[in-house]
Chains A and B, each alone.
Chain A
Amino acid sequence: MVFKRLDGRKLDEMRPITAKVGIIPNADGSAMFTFGKTVAIAAVYGPRMLHPQHMQSPQQAILRVNYDLLSFSVSDRKRPGPSRRSQEISKVTEWSLSPALDLKEFPNTVIDVQIYILQADASTRVAGINAASMALAQAGIPMRNLVCSVAIGKMDKELVVDVDKDEEDFEEGEGATDIPLAKLANTDHYTLLQLDGKIQPSLIPKALLLADKACVQIYEIQKKALKEVVTE
């Protein structure tokens, strides 16, 4: 019996993706990235002066990421202000992006990355990472690679690509497992790996391969968005 996803997608099919660069004129770099109904926007300011001085590093730029949901992005209004969840996501996002950046070029400065979710339908942190990656490139930060990110899921026994909210809430059989991943494009280097659920170790390499394939497509979309904005 072939497993059917709730919205009819194939197991390895992502939701429709849109990507646009340069949406916030004040920012040094900015971008929007959507996975279906999940909409993330990111703005980069920097490298710029960092206050207070004692937070500066003489060896490299500090990368500071702030991720949060807008109050009306979720069904139950989220009260303004950073939650524990958003603080954790901010930190893992910072770790997912820093391997891509040549931070040593800008000692004593800060690069601020602001990520906000306008509309949440699961996979918010990975959408945010995809947007931030394009925004960092547009800001002219020297980068080894773009960072591509996607959430691999497991619904009962099947691995699926790009988890939406209904799938996140799936409860039959072995329930839902959520595996957000990010990697440096075109490499074997994974910069974000989180997991919630129930999964045999033997399935992890397969999850990575599914993410690899999805990230190849995401990279092409990010590249196209960056190239389009200058040729308009």
Chain B
Amino acid sequence: MEKFEKSQEEYEDFGSEPQSRIIVVPGEVVFSGEDFLPGEGARREGNDIVASRYGLAEKIGRVVKIIPFSGAFIPRRNNVVIGRVSDIVHSGWIVDIDYASNGFLPLMESPRFVNKGEMDQFLAIGDVVAAKIWSVSPKSIDLAMKGKGLGKLEGGFIFRVNPSRVPRIIGREGSMINLIKENTGCNITIGQNGWIWVKGNDLDSELRARKSIEFIAEKVLVSGLTEKMEGWFTKNK
């Protein structure tokens, strides 16, 4: 027995059949039947696949997983994150990445030679960096800053969105973020931890970029968002 509501809401098309998506709460039966397999955010209980998260249930083939509407950022290797330098120790910089444990940028990760006495000239407390997660361990997240778009961020501004909205802001193969960049002429770096950096030619285009991103972040369940945003940009010149 398949138990899902054919509701009138539109669903953001991430690439699977739209009609296989329903809103679920923890403990709710998503599908019944031996054939299905529980994916991320779901579990099997007897004959049922049950949600363990609040979000959108998605069925791809036999696998049922839940795309959460919200939730803490889970750091993974290669994630780009934006953080604030909160302390300097002899071996590197402690970076607050808005997560339950801090990020750590080792001294040797700086792109050029920095000796210990000059560490704060390279990165001082309060500076903002874009970095990549190199490794995740229970008490610390190691960061690396070698790479395009990474390093100390200067100019522009940073702001936060719910980390679970980051995929929508990026869009399929970057379609959404590219639309925003084109329409505002801004440089934008998106941290998987929900922090976003925007820098443009003038304050007004930077503000427009921020507004458009916050608008997208609010729209949890809307499909055709890319087209809708094209319309938004025409209206909000």
- Which residue of A has the minimal Cβ distance to B70? A140
CA distance A48 to B100 in the complex (A): 5
- Interface residues in B66-87 by Cβ distance below 8 A to A read 68-72
The interface stretch among A33-41, A112-120, A224-232 is A224-232
B-contact bits for A101-137, CB 8 A (1 contact / 0 none): 0100011110000000000000000000000000001
Residue A46 at the chain B interface, CB threshold 8 Å: yes
B148 cross-chain contacts in A, Cβ below 8 A: none
- Selected from B9, B25, B41, B164, the residue in CB contact (under 8 A) with A226 is B25
CA distance A106 to B100 in the complex (A): 9
How many residue pairs at the A-B interface have CB separations less than 8 Å? 76
- Selected from B26, B53, B69, B101, the residue in CB contact (under 8 A) with A230 is B69
A-contact bits for B3-28, CB 8 A (1 contact / 0 none): 00001010000000000000101111
- Selected from B28, B41, B70, the residue in CB contact (under 8 A) with A223 is B28
- Which residue of B has the minimal Cβ distance to A224? B25
CA distance A210 to B68 in the complex (A): 33
CA distance A145 to B221 in the complex (A): 23
B25-A230 in contact (CB<8A): no
Main secondary structure of the interface of B (DSSP, over half): loop
A137-B26 in contact (CB<8A): yes
Q: Assuming A102-B52, A141-B71, A227-B25, what are 8 further A-B pairs, CB within 8 angstroms?
A: A106-B72, A106-B100, A140-B54, A140-B164, A144-B26, A184-B27, A185-B27, A231-B7
A231-B9 in contact (CB<8A): yes
Residue A74 at the chain B interface, CB threshold 8 Å: no
Q: Tell me which of A28, A102, A230 has the highest count of chain B C-beta atoms within 10 A of its own C-beta.
A: A230
CA distance A29 to B25 in the complex (A): 14
- Which residue of B has the minimal Cβ distance to A227? B23
Q: Tell me which of A106, A227, A231 has the highest count of chain B C-beta atoms within 10 A of its own C-beta.
A: A227
- Selected from A47, A48, A50, A140, the residue in CB contact (under 8 A) with B69 is A140
- 11 pairs, A vs B, C-beta closer than 8 Å: A46-B72, A47-B100, A48-B72, A50-B100, A108-B100, A139-B70, A141-B71, A144-B52, A146-B25, A186-B27, A222-B25
CB distance from B207 to the nearest CB of A (A): 20
